[in-house]
Amino acid sequence: MELTFIYFDFPFWRAEVGKIALFMGGIDFENKIVDGEEFQRVKETGQLDDGTVIPFHQLPCLVVDGISIAQTAGIARFCGKLSGIYPKNDDVLSAQIDQFLDMATDITDLIFTTGRDEDEETKKIKRQELCKGELARKLGILDKNIRDESGWVLGFDLGLADIAIWRLMGWLSCGILDGIPTDLIRAFPRISRVCLAVDEHPKIQQWVARTYPKDYVRGNYL
């Protein structure tokens, strides 16, 4: 099976959850990087400059033996099944994992749409307000639904939900988003605990050392 993972040169959760799943399973794939200029053309044409089809004109995209698969959760589930960290025969557990992936998407969309098309100062103010309101509410709900009896979101080992939450919170708390305080996650102990557990996982440490830039800033979880 030939796999090509297409995304930007940035370790965002939307791509990392699938990439790390493949890495954990020892599954080789080509990591294809798209720059901003080519992505603008992708949004118009629905394909890369080399003709690769991008189904919904957005990234990430996974090409499997020439067949393009889009959407974060669909890609994550496929990669998780290949690597054995997403169940093939447990519908309830699958749905439980899916709900955390969808919640991560909800939080991401909330950030992206707040202050969109506004000037930078207005966007910053609106995001500050968001952190005190709807974003705090969403994070509180997420925190409440993480199991308290283990260090993970579900079960007793690293899974797709943990990877998604870890990288999402790393993005939120690493200081690159104007208006989002770096200590935002500290108020949510279960989220923080999961992020720290993922940080300390040997396979995650290998992945970070192998693929992340030297100036990578981990999230602020403590």
Nearest to 71 by CA among 83, 61, 82, 79: 61
- State the CATH number of the domain containing residue 46: 3.40.30.10
In the block, tokens 């690597």 appear at 83
Is 190 inside any structural domain? yes
User: Which residue segment(s) compose the domain that 13 sits in?
Assistant: 3-83
Same domain, 111 and 183: yes
Last residue of a domain, one of 83, 118, 151: 83
The reported pLDDT for the residue numbered 155 is: 82
Same domain, 8 and 46: yes
Is 42 inside any structural domain? yes
The reported pLDDT for the residue numbered 214 is: 80
Specify the pTM: 0.94
φ, ψ of residue 70 to 5 degrees: the values are -115, 175
Same domain, 68 and 97: no
The reported pLDDT for the residue numbered 222 is: 64
How many Å apart are CA 181 and CA 176, to the nearest integer? 10
Is 207 inside any structural domain? no
Positions in the chain whose pLDDT score sits under 50: none
The reported pLDDT for the residue numbered 206 is: 96
The reported pLDDT for the residue numbered 117 is: 86
Is 75 inside any structural domain? yes
Same domain, 72 and 97: no
Same domain, 67 and 102: no
Number of domains the chain contains: 2
Same domain, 61 and 102: no
Same domain, 142 and 197: yes
Q: Work out the angle at residue 210's Cα, subtended by the Cα atoms of residues 60 and 57, and round it to the nearest 5 degrees.
A: 10
Is 13 inside any structural domain? yes
Last residue of a domain, one of 83, 108, 125: 83
